[in-house]
């Protein structure tokens, strides 16, 4: 029962992230939606998988996948954001301050 609730929560977060990628105004805010919801949704779904499988070596491997998502997702989003700033893409008009450069 708990695993179905976790799966549902993960899918909801993923859908909200996809909506955010469409609705937000510029590259940087879109990256926020994409990365945060990716991490949260995959945590929820993988924890649901662990609950469904029970304690064992396979669930340890699922936790390893979770750890890799944790450490690789920020690196990818950081590289994308920095590359777009270096390339000269301006933040949207709503932006308050730009201390970089």
Partner 1 sequence: MSKMRFYLRERLDTVKEHIESQLQYGKGIRTWQKILVTFLVLYLFWIVLIGSTATPPLVLGAGVCTLLSILTYDFFARDIRAGENFFSRLLMFVFIYIPELAFIFLFRIIEANVNVARHVILMDINPGIVRIDTTLRSHTAVTALANIITLTPGTLTLDVKETLEGNALYVHWIDVETLSTEEAGEIIKGGVDEWLHRIFW
Q: Which positions touch partner 1 (CB under 8 A)?
A: 13, 16-17, 19-20, 23-24, 28-29, 31-33, 35-37, 39-40, 43, 57-58, 60-61, 64, 70-71, 73-75, 77-78, 81-82, 85, 91-92, 94-100
Closest distance to partner 1 from the beta carbon of 4 (Å): 19
Closest distance to partner 1 from the beta carbon of 78 (Å): 5
Closest distance to partner 1 from the beta carbon of 52 (Å): 18
- Cβ contact 15:31 at 8 Å: no
Nearer to partner 1, 1 or 75 (CB): 75
Q: Please tell me the distance from the alpha carbon of residue 98 to that of residue 21, in angstroms, as a whole number.
A: 22
Closest distance to partner 1 from the beta carbon of 99 (Å): 4
- Cβ contact 9:36 at 8 Å: no
Report residue 50 as tokens. Answer: 């662990």
Burial of 51 (0-12, 13-18, 19+ CB in 10 A): middle
Nearer to partner 1, 2 or 58 (CB): 58
79 alpha carbon, distance to own chain's centre: 14
């Amino acid at each position: 029962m708990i695993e179905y609730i976790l799966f549902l929560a993960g899918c909801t977060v993923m859908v909200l992230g996809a909506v955010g990628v469409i609705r937000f105004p510029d590259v940087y805010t879109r990256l926020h939606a994409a990365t945060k919801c990716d991490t949260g949704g995959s945590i929820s779904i993988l924890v649901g998988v662990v609950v469904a499988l029970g304690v064992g070596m396979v669930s340890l491997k699922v936790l390893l996948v979770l750890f890799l998502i944790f450490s690789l997702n920020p690196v990818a989003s950081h590289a994308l954001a920095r590359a777009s700033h270096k390339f000269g893409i301006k933040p949207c008009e709503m932006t308050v301050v730009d201390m970089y450069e």
